[in-house]
């Protein structure tokens, strides 16, 4: 019974923290993405949404994997420090991933925006497609 309580605490805190962080990053990250993508609002919103989905998938997957690695004896005898260590490691790994993503977007954002605008310009300049002849 105590071990199950530990699982519930870990899942509740970890998933709650995941939702809060994802919402915060989404809300505040769009401004950063707009600057990085040369004020391209559509590209910034699309990228923001993809990053949030990826964040949820990676975070929930990591949380689930950490469930398998529980030391039942430690979890029962020292539940609070054990759960705190698991949540702390998850937060550190995901924070590191976040800063890596920010660095890559900051470095390559304008390149992606230029590529996206180049694709749009090429599509506008292409001759219209003729319907196939029967």
In this prediction, residue 19 carries a pLDDT of 92
The verdict on residue 129 lying in a domain is no
Domain limits at 75?
Answer: 2-115
Does residue 124 belong to any structural domain of this protein?
Answer: no
Q: What is the pLDDT of the chain when averaged over all its residues?
A: 81
Cα distance between residue 35 and residue 57, in whole Å: 26
- For residue 104, pLDDT over 90 is answered with no
pLDDT tens digits along 105-134: 777 766 766 665 665 544 555 555 667 776
Looking at residue 68, its pLDDT comes to 80
Q: Residue 16 has what pLDDT?
A: 92
What pLDDT score was predicted for residue 118? 60
DSSP string, 28-88: HHHHHHHHHTTT-HHHHHHHHHHHHHHHHHHHHHHHHHHHHT--HHHHHHTHHHHHHHHHH
Banded model confidence at residue 6, pLDDT cuts 50, 70, 90: confident
67: its two tokens? 């469930």
| 134 lies in some domain | no
pLDDT tens for residues 62-85? 888 888 878 888 878 888 888 899
Is residue 24 scored above 60 in pLDDT?
A: yes
Would 133 be classed as within a structural domain? no
In a domain, 69, yes or no: yes
pTM over 0.85: no
Across 18-54, b (16+ Cβ under 10 Å) vs e yields: beebbeebeeebbebbbebbeebeebbeebbeebeee
Confidence of residue 53 (pLDDT cuts 50, 70, 90): very high
CA–CA separation, 131 vs 134, rounded Å?
9
Asked if residue 46 is part of any domain, the answer here is: yes
Domain count, the chain: 1
Q: Is residue 125 part of a domain?
A: no
């Amino acid at each position: 019974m105590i071990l199950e309580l530990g699982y519930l605490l870990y899942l509740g805190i970890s998933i709650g923290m995941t939702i809060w962080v994802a919402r915060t990053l989404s809300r505040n990250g769009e401004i950063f993405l707009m600057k990085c993508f040369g004020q391209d609002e559509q590209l910034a919103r699309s990228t923001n949404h993809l990053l949030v989905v990826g964040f949820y998938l990676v975070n929930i997957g990591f949380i689930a994997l950490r469930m398998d690695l529980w030391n039942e004896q430690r979890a029962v005898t020292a539940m609070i420090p054990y759960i705190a260590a698991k949540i702390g490691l998850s937060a550190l790994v995901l924070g590191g991933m976040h800063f890596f993503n920010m660095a890559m977007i900051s470095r390559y954002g304008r390149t992606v925006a230029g590529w996206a605008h180049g694709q749009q310009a090429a599509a506008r300049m292409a001759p219209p497609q003729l319907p196939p002849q029967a």
